Amino acid sequence: MIRVSGLPGMMMNRKELPEEIKEVVRLIEQKARRARLDFPLVIFELVNEQEMNGLAATGGFPLRWSHWIHGQEFERMKKFYRYGISIIYEMVINTAPAYAYLLNSNSLTDHKMVIAHVYGHCDFFKNNVWLSHFNPKMADEIADHAIRVDKYKEEKGQEAVEKLIDDGLSILDLIDLHAPHIRRERKERDPVPKEPKRVQIPEGKGYLEEYLNPVEWLEKEREELKKREELERAIEQGLKIPVEPTRDVVGFLIQYAPLEQWQRDLLAILREENCYVAPQGQTKIMNEGWASYWQSKMMIELGLAESKEIVDYAARSAGTWAEYPGAINPYKLGLELWRDIEWRWDTGRHGPVYENCPFQEILENWDEFVVLRALYRKPLWERQWDEWCAFQEALSRGEFGFSKEVWDKKKAVKWWCEYQDLETILSRLENQKSELTEKIERAGQALAGFEADVQNSAWVRQICESDLEDVKADIAFYGSFAAFRKAFNEMKVRFKRRVIPENYLLYLDQSKGEKLEIGTGLEKMFEVRTFYNDINFISEFFTDEFCKRHQYYTYAPGTGGVPRDHYAVVSTDARQVRDKILFMLTNLGKPIIYVSNANHQGRGELYLDHVHEGMDLRLDYMKAVLEILYRYWQKKVHLETTVTQEERKSDPYEWLRKDIVQDPYARTEEEQKRILKGERRIFSYDGIRHEERKIAEVKVQRPFMT
Partner 1 sequence: MKGRIKKELRAYLKPGVITLPTKERGIITIPVPVIDLPDLRYGMNFGGVGQGAAEPGQDLGPIATGQSDDAKQAGTKPGLDFVDVEITNEEFLEMLEAELPQIQPKGTRLIDSEDVKYTSVRRMGPESLRHLKRTWKEALKRQISEGSYDPEQPTIIPTKENKRYRSWEIIKKPQNNAVVVFMRDVSGSMGPEEREVVRYVCWLTGLWLKRQYNALETAYIAHDTRAWEVSTEQEFLEHHSMGGTIISSAHEKLEDVINRRFPPKDWNIYPIYFSDGFNWGPDDRKAIERIQNLLPSINQYAYGEIDLERWWWKGTTPGGFSAPGKFGHILANEFVGEEKVVYTSLKNTDDAFDAFKTFFGN
Exactly one of 147, 473, 505, 569 binds partner 1 (CB under 8 A); which one?
569
By DSSP bridging, strand 42-47 and strand 98-103 are parallel
CA distance 593 to 591: 6
Exactly one of 141, 173, 393, 517 binds partner 1 (CB under 8 A); which one?
173
> For residue 674, what are the contacts with CB-CB under 8 A and spacing of at least 6?
614, 666, 701, 702, 705
Q: How far is the CB of 532 from partner 1 (least distance, A)?
A: 19
Q: For 638, which DSSP code?
A: E
Backbone φ and ψ of 43, nearest 5°: -110, 120
How big is the site for partner 1, counted in residues (CB under 8 A)?
Answer: 70
Q: Does 577 bind partner 1 (CB under 8 A)?
A: yes
Q: How far is the CB of 124 from partner 1 (least distance, A)?
A: 23
Bridge partner list, 187: none
Q: Does 193 bind partner 1 (CB under 8 A)?
A: no
Residue (102 or 174) nearer to partner 1, CB: 174
CB 300 within 8 A of CB 283: no
Residue (229 or 620) nearer to partner 1, CB: 620
Q: Does 611 bind partner 1 (CB under 8 A)?
A: no
DSSP code string of 579-592: HHHHHHHGGGGS-E
Residue (65 or 402) nearer to partner 1, CB: 65
Residue (6 or 561) nearer to partner 1, CB: 561
Q: Does 171 bind partner 1 (CB under 8 A)?
A: yes
Residue (78 or 442) nearer to partner 1, CB: 78
**Residue from 299, 304, 477, 488 nearest 403 by CA:** 477
Among the residue ranges 192-200, 440-448, 466-474, 620-628, the one whose residues contact partner 1 (CB under 8 A): 620-628
Beta strands per DSSP E along 165-272: none
Residue (134 or 546) nearer to partner 1, CB: 546
State the burial class of residue 296 (Cβ atoms within 10 Å of its Cβ: 0-12, 13-18, 19+).
buried
Residue (174 or 291) nearer to partner 1, CB: 174
Exactly one of 4, 199, 327, 454 binds partner 1 (CB under 8 A); which one?
327
Residue (118 or 626) nearer to partner 1, CB: 626
**Residue from 434, 402, 399 nearest 418 by CA:** 402
Query: Given strand 605-611, what is the order of strands in its sheet?
Result: 592-600, 605-611, 637-643, 675-685, 690-701
Exactly one of 177, 625, 637, 700 binds partner 1 (CB under 8 A); which one?
625
Q: Does 566 bind partner 1 (CB under 8 A)?
A: yes
Binding track over 30-69 against partner 1, x by CB under 8 A:
--------------------------------------xx
Backbone φ and ψ of 497, nearest 5°: -70, 135
Q: How far is the CB of 560 from partner 1 (least distance, A)?
A: 7
CB 293 within 8 A of CB 335: yes
Q: Does 560 bind partner 1 (CB under 8 A)?
A: yes
> For residue 106, what are the contacts with CB-CB under 8 A and spacing of at least 6?
114
DSSP code string of 403-470: -GGG--GGGHHHHHHHHHTHHHHHHHHHHHHHHHHHHHHHHHHHHHHT-S-HHHHHHHHHHHHHHHHH
> For residue 406, what are the contacts with CB-CB under 8 A and spacing of at least 6?
none
Q: Does 163 bind partner 1 (CB under 8 A)?
A: no
Residue (173 or 386) nearer to partner 1, CB: 173
Binding track over 579-608 against partner 1, x by CB under 8 A:
-xx--x----xxx-x---------------
> For residue 360, what are the contacts with CB-CB under 8 A and spacing of at least 6?
none
Q: How far is the CB of 543 from partner 1 (least distance, A)?
A: 15
- Pick out residues in 137-156 that bind partner 1 (CB under 8 A): 154
CA distance 655 to 531: 40
Q: How far is the CB of 628 from partner 1 (least distance, A)?
A: 8
CB 485 within 8 A of CB 422: yes
**Residue from 83, 111, 155 nearest 23 by CA:** 111
Exactly one of 147, 476, 505, 624 binds partner 1 (CB under 8 A); which one?
624
CA distance 216 to 406: 75
Among the residue ranges 11-19, 390-398, 410-418, 571-579, the one whose residues contact partner 1 (CB under 8 A): 571-579
Exactly one of 485, 558, 631, 634 binds partner 1 (CB under 8 A); which one?
558
By DSSP bridging, strand 592-600 and strand 645-648 are unpaired
Binding track over 63-102 against partner 1, x by CB under 8 A:
-----xx-xx--xx-xx-----------------------
Q: Does 28 bind partner 1 (CB under 8 A)?
A: no
Q: Does 651 bind partner 1 (CB under 8 A)?
A: yes
**Residue from 635, 634, 638 nearest 594 by CA:** 638
- Pick out residues in 498-557 that bind partner 1 (CB under 8 A): 550-557
Exactly one of 332, 349, 461, 600 binds partner 1 (CB under 8 A); which one?
332
CB 6 within 8 A of CB 140: yes
Residues forming contacts to partner 1 in the complex (CB under 8 A) are 68-69, 71-72, 75-76, 78-79, 154, 166, 169-174, 325-328, 332, 550-558, 560-562, 564-572, 577, 580-581, 584, 589-591, 593, 610, 615-622, 624-625, 628, 645, 647, 651, 653-655, 704, 706
